[in-house]
Amino acid sequence: MAENFPLPRTCPYAPPPAYARMREQAPLVRATLPGGEAWLVTRHAEARQVLSGAGISTNPAAPGHPSGALSAEPPTPERDAFMEEFAVGHFIDLDPPEHGRFRRLLIPEFTVKRMRELRPGIQQIADELIDDMLAKGPEAELVEAFGLALPSLVICRLLGVPYAEHEFFESRTRTMVSAADPGTRHAAVMEIRGFLDALVTKAEADPRDDLLGRLVGGGELTHGEIVGVMFLLLVAGHETTANMIPLAALTLMDHPAQLAALRADPGLWPMAVEELLRYHSIADWVAFDRVATEDQHIGGQLVRKGEGIFVLGASANRDERAFDRPDEFDIGRSARHHVAFGYGVHQCLGQNLARAELEIALRTLFERLPGLRVAVPAEDVPIKHESPIFGLKTLPVAW
């Protein structure tokens, strides 16, 4: 019997309950989507096999790609034309060698060395946001005041968005990430695209020594490709981190012994961040949609050319074959082999930035607000159970 997909989460600390049953059943499970069918990859080893890219395409235009099956609405020429234009520069949807053309240009911007250079700026942003919370305290809504704000300001600095315009940028980004109405989100997306288009035009006339200036000055990408790259970096570099920060803070508050260990030994923070990424896997299958480009066996299952695949990252990261006691949150665990950032050629380009942001944001939050606590009963914290990118709608806190 095929599973219905996507499946909603029902608990802030666990993937959809059916994942454990499916993972025990088989490494690949057939699923029914609103507009078709696809394979679901449930286990860690097979997830890595699919994400490694051999005989697999990530391109939504490839025959059989399952992204279109997530909607029951038939495609229209207008929507296809819009998506074709919108996809320019979205290199995560490209296969090699075209994917490598973009990645080669961007890798120098996201190295460990580059992230070390950015850390003082991230620290400054975190401190200023907490200064503002303290000035307005002793209570705050952590999603808005800190979770959304920090990655928005960091990405503004990284992309070269002028500080004078960060309020517009941050407000539209917040709407794009959190608005419930699709029309409102679409309008915010288009405003941001227009803003980035103008920003690229300005940089082309007068390039500066920042990420955007280097892309423009390199002369290897078209105007439209640069706009697409900037938009992709914005979304990929903002939405996931914005959801992770409050959810991670809630998790640590619910595990006071492990939070105390982090306070006693800040050197544990990098391991804690890896465990938080594994434990929550908030992006789950988002960006893990693939299609087989040749007949092949995956986990003993024949997957035919043209069949769609979704890798369930939240299931792979709870696989008992890869992690001991996977449903337990343990900051002492060696969890670096998780697939929260993907695997292989399409592994998240900004993973070093995400790690730096999470470590600095959470460490600073709990160092400067030692009495931080959730200000409402646990059952009253609203959860994004149906959202493709999992997280909290709000998190009222006090200190």
Query: Tell me: the pLDDT tens digits for 270-310?
Result: 999 999 999 999 999 999 999 999 999 999 999 999 999 99
Global confidence as pTM: 0.94
- Beta strand 36-41 with 308-311: parallel, antiparallel or unpaired? parallel
Query: Tell me: the pLDDT tens digits for 143-195?
Result: 999 998 999 889 888 888 776 777 787 778 777 766 667 778 788 888 989 98
Are 329 and 251 contacting, i.e. CB atoms less than 8 angstroms apart? yes
- Beta strand 308-311 with 396-398: parallel, antiparallel or unpaired? unpaired
CA distance 166 to 172: 10
Pick the CATH number of 3-398 from 1.10.630.10, 3.40.1190.20, 3.40.605.10, 3.40.50.10320: 1.10.630.10
Q: What angle do CA 204, 91, 215 make, to 5 degrees?
A: 25
Are 329 and 279 contacting, i.e. CB atoms less than 8 angstroms apart? yes
More confident residue, 83 or 54: 54
Long-range contacts of 132-138 (CB under 8 A, 24+ apart): 133/369, 134/368, 134/369, 137/398, 137/399, 138/398, 138/399
pLDDT at 160: 81
Q: Using the CB atoms, write b or e for 246-282: b if 16+ within 10 Å.
A: bbbbbbbbebeebbeebeeeeebbebbbbbbbbbbbb
Residues pairing with 392 in the sheet: 383
Query: Tell me: the pLDDT tens digits for 94-108?
Result: 999 999 999 999 999
Given 3-state DSSP classes, what are the helix, strand and coil percentages for the chain, each rounded to the nearest 5? 55, 10, 35
Residues pairing with 196 in the sheet: none
Query: Tell me: the pLDDT tens digits for 4-37?
Result: 999 999 999 999 999 999 999 999 999 999 999 9
Query: Tell me: the pLDDT tens digits for 220-242?
Result: 999 999 999 999 988 777 889 99
Q: Is the peptide bond before 75 cis (omega within 30 degrees of 0)?
A: no
Closest CA to 70 of 60, 78, 80: 60
pLDDT at 161: 78
Closest CA to 215 of 205, 225, 345, 91: 225
Query: Tell me: the pLDDT tens digits for 29-50?
Result: 999 999 999 999 999 999 999 9
Could you write out the DSSP letters of every residue in 91-142?
A: GGG--TTHHHHHHHHHGGGGSHHHHHHHHHHHHHHHHHHHHHHHHH-SEEEH
